[in-house]
């Protein structure tokens, strides 16, 4: 039960922060969902750092990993919004924006995880 509460709390905090970022940045950039892109990219960096630290000599406890990686990062990042936004581009016939958003999100996400893992080795 304690683990479920930790995931719940972390997820709630992550979701609230994502909402604020999306609300702020998605409205400013009509042809690119910058808020979702930022949340997903930052979340990838954070999870790389957290899981790297967790794997490195058990730096984080299982409960801390559940709170921060599973809960916070799970709530902060959003595949469903990403998929819906891509669908919106396709529906509007914006193939360039669809391609740019999809490829940049995936490539930057993987690079951010790798950078996070690298940073965790330095700590």
Q: What is the pLDDT of residue 75?
A: 97
Q: What is the pLDDT of residue 58?
A: 84
CA distances from 48 to 21, 45, 95, 122 (A): 20, 5, 31, 13
Binding residues for Na(+): 74, 77
Binding residues: 74, 77
Tens of pLDDT, residues 57-83: 788 899 999 999 999 999 999 999 999
Nearest to 74, CA basis, from 104, 98, 38, 39: 39
User: What counts of helices (H) and strands (E) characterise the chain?
Assistant: 6, 0
Tens of pLDDT, residues 9-58: 999 999 999 999 999 998 776 788 999 999 999 999 999 999 999 888 78
Q: Measured between alpha carbons, how far is 14 from 1 in angstroms, rounded to an integer?
A: 20
Q: What is the pLDDT of residue 116?
A: 97
User: pTM of the entire structure?
Assistant: 0.92
Q: What is the pLDDT of residue 98?
A: 97
Q: What is the pLDDT of residue 16?
A: 98
- Label residue 64 exposed, middle or buried (CB < 10 Å: 0-12, 13-18, 19+): middle
Domain boundaries, the chain: 2-27+34-122
């Amino acid at each position: 039960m304690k683990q479920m509460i930790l995931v719940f709390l972390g997820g709630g905090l992550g979701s609230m922060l994502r909402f604020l970022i999306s609300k702020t940045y998605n409205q400013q950039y009509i042809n690119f969902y910058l808020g979702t892109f930022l949340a997903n990219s930052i979340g990838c960096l954070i999870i790389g750092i957290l899981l790297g630290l967790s794997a490195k000599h058990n730096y984080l406890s299982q409960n801390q990993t559940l709170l921060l990686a599973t809960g916070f990062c799970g709530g902060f990042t959003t595949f469903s919004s990403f998929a819906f936004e891509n669908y919106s581009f396709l529906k509007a016939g914006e193939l360039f924006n669809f391609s740019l958003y999809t490829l940049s999100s995936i490539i930057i996400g993987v690079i951010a995880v790798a950078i996070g893992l690298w940073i965790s080795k330095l700590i």
